[in-house]
Amino acid sequence: AQSVAQPEDQVKVAEGNPLTVKCTYSVSGNPYLFWYVQYPNRGLQFLLKYITGDNLVKGSYGFEAEFNKSQTSFHLKKPSALVSDSALYFCAVRVPTDSWGKLQFGAGTQVVVTP
Amino acid sequence: GAGVSQTPSNKVTEKGKYVELRCDPISGHTALYWYRQSLGQGPEFLIYFQGTGAADDSGLPNDRFFAVRPEGSVSTLKIQRTERGDSAVYLCASSLKGGTSHNEQFFGPGTRLTVL
């Protein structure tokens, strides 16, 4: 069965420090991986995706993520966090054998960036 | 340009009632998805439309749930005989193409359904 896990319910960092949000997956074949961010009372916003090619993917708002096939991980990173980065972050996987493109999401990680 | 819109933003109903939730996707997007997000969880897939047809409804929890997209744009999610367990945020997403494309999905703000 396919699954995606975000092992941390919450990540707390001080502004200016590096931010890492972890994601691991269990999927047969080569997955397509996505990160979304959710602000209160707003829909999910797309940050970045990995389809193929370079393992380091750069996305919106200074975020990047590294695909690691051997560790089945796709951690989200930002070198210097901002207070405005405080939000709920979701990792999602698309099963490559699925013909219709539906996403399977992790439970989410609440990021808190303190001033 | 306008993003995905959903109405109403909040819906409170009584157990056993019928509700309709509307989604207006981004213009030109052929693929439309419905997800349900329960408190403290990530979104869970319900149904996918490619054009007017429901290509994948494997996520619908039971036959009380139904969705339509008659003209290939606006979609309505319909829930009959609502139960308290249906309370959740219902999210709609659209993408330029669905199927095997790699297009990202753009999400609406959701409809928060509360069944009393």
> Would the pLDDT of A98 be above 80?
no
* Average pLDDT along chain B: 93
Contact B56, B43 (CB under 8 A): no
What residue ranges in chain A does DSSP mark as E strands? 3-5, 10-14, 19-21, 24-26, 32-38, 44-50, 56-58, 64-68, 73-78, 87-94, 103-105, 109-114
Q: Sign of torsion, CA A110 B61 B55 A72? A: positive
What does the pLDDT read at residue A25?
94
Name A6's Cβ contacts closer than 8 Å, sequence gap at least 6.
A21, A22, A23, A89, A90, A91, A106, A107, A108, A109
Give the model confidence (pLDDT) of A32-91 as tens digits: 999 999 998 778 999 999 988 899 999 999 999 999 999 999 999 999 999 999 999 999
Q: Which of B33, B91, B95, B102 is the mutation pick for testing A, counting most A CBs within 10 A?
A: B102
Q: What is the pLDDT of residue A99?
A: 74
pLDDT digits (tens, 9 = 90+) for A11-29: 999 999 999 999 999 988 8
pLDDT in tens, B5-28: 999 999 999 999 999 999 999 999
One-character DSSP codes across B52-89: TEEEE-TT--STTEEEE-TTSS-EEEEESS--GGG-EE
Contact A41 B3 (CB under 8 A): no
CA dist., res. B105 & res. B92, Å (int): 9
The mean per-residue pLDDT over the stretch B53-69 comes to: 92
Cβ atoms of B38 and B103 within 8 Å: the answer is no
Search chain B and give the residue with CA nearest A5.
B42
Query: How far B94 CA sits from the closest chain A CA (Å)?
Result: 11
> Cβ–Cβ of A51/B102 closer than 8 Å?
yes
The tokens for A49 are 């995706």
What local confidence, expressed as pLDDT, does residue B100 receive? 67
Give the 3-state secondary structure of B4-23. CEEECCEEEECCCCCEEEEE
- The pLDDT, as a whole number, for residue A110 is 97
Give the per-residue pLDDT at A102.
Answer: 87
Whether B77 and B65 have beta carbons less than 8 Å apart is answered as yes
How far is the C-alpha of B47 from the C-alpha of A11, rounded, in Å? Answer: 32
For B108, the token pair is 């609406």
In 3D, which of B42, B40, B47, B39 has the Cα closest to residue B21?
B47
pLDDT at res. A113: 97
Residue with tokens 């330029």: B96
Q: What is the pLDDT of residue B103?
A: 80
Which of B56, B106, B107 is the closest to A100 by Cβ? B56
Chain B, nearest residue to A42 by Cα? B109
B95 contacts A108? CB cut-off 8 A: no
- Using pLDDT thresholds of 50, 70 and 90, give the confidence band for residue B92: very high
Q: Place B102 in a pLDDT band, splitting at 50, 70 and 90.
A: confident
Q: Contact A51/B42, CB-based, under 8 Å?
A: no
* Burial (Cβ within 10 Å: 0-12, 13-18, ≥19) of residue B87: middle
pLDDT of residue A47: 96
**Does residue B67 surpass a pLDDT of 60?**
yes
Q: Is the peptide bond before A115 cis (omega within 30 degrees of 0)?
A: no
